[in-house]
Amino acid sequence: MFKNYIILTILLMTALSQSGCSIDKSLTFEIPKKGLEVVQHVPADAEGRDKNALYLTPRRITESEFNTPELSTFIDTMNAVMLREEGVGIAANQLGKRLQIFIIEAMDDNPRYKVLGTVTNQVFINPVITKVSENRKNFWHGCLSANGEDRGNVATFEWLEYECKNQKGEIQRGRLDGFGAVIFQHEYRHLMNGTYLDHAKHLLPKSELDEKLKSGELPFFELANDTLPLLIEGFQLGKNLEDY
């Protein structure tokens, strides 16, 4: 009888190991040995989009995960990748992790965005947008997840108010305007699923765009009308991301 029990246990464990019940590492803070790499955009009609972290709903960070070494290490790694890639923001799902975390920061010496001013480093966990401006501004977006792609013109709210948590699990409330508001909405779009390429209707290669912006032929960070696509189309005031 005991022998039969052992055999049954072994068979059950084998079946479970082959049934796909393993932990989904995209939902954990685990960092692969090769490090975190930036996930790239997949067009809407392309194969593999439904398996790309950029298009899968990220989960909330739970109370037990705040103020832990694992969370701290993960955020430090996000910061390191953002600096390495010369970005001004990064979201967890850009790194293959379906977690409601993003960071924004624009330093004076960033070669890509010198003209737009400094934005201090801020970490947003489980972010919620609580209020937005009536006015919107246009902005030509690029993205670490859109290497080699054209820049796209979309609208973002001139300012917004938010609520989120910090690494300790403390509630943070604040307001962002200017470039900080643009970066916040860019990263929030990632957590809503997708990139600016899913929304922009007017796209230009960076070299051509730079020439037209320099000559004044195209507007840059000016008030936008309602015909310009909103980057965070579909967002809901006061709602958690998983409620969309």
* pLDDT for the residue 110: 65
Average pLDDT of the segment spanning 7-21: 40
- SS3 assignment, position 16: helix
Helix/strand/coil percentages in the chain, nearest 5: 35, 25, 45
> What mean pLDDT do residues 26-51 have?
94
pLDDT score at 244: 84
Residue 8 is predicted with a pLDDT of 36
Of 17, 22, 228, which is closest to residue 139 (Cα–Cα)? 228
Amino acid identity of 191? L
pLDDT tens readout for residues 97-151? 999 999 999 987 766 666 678 899 999 999 999 999 999 999 999 999 999 999 9
Question: Which residues form the catalytic set?
Answer: 187
pLDDT bracket for residue 12 (50, 70, 90): very low
In the chain, the domains with their CATH numbers are 41-243 (3.90.45.10)
* Dihedral sign, Cα of residue 78, residue 183, residue 102, residue 165: positive
Q: What is the pLDDT of residue 21?
A: 53
The pair of three-digit structure tokens given for residue 185, joined into one six-digit string: 């909405």
Displacement of CA 66 from its chain's centroid (Å): 19
CA–CA separation, 234 and 244 (whole Å) = 8
- What one-letter code names the amino acid at 168? K
Which uninterrupted H or E stretch holds 77? Answer: helix 69-84
Model confidence band, residue 18 (pLDDT cutoffs 50, 70, 90): very low
Which residue did the predictor score with more confidence, 17 or 85? 85
pLDDT in tens, 43-97: 999 999 999 999 999 999 999 999 999 999 999 999 999 999 999 999 999 999 9
For the stretch 166-197, pLDDT in tens is 999 999 999 999 999 999 999 999 999 999 99
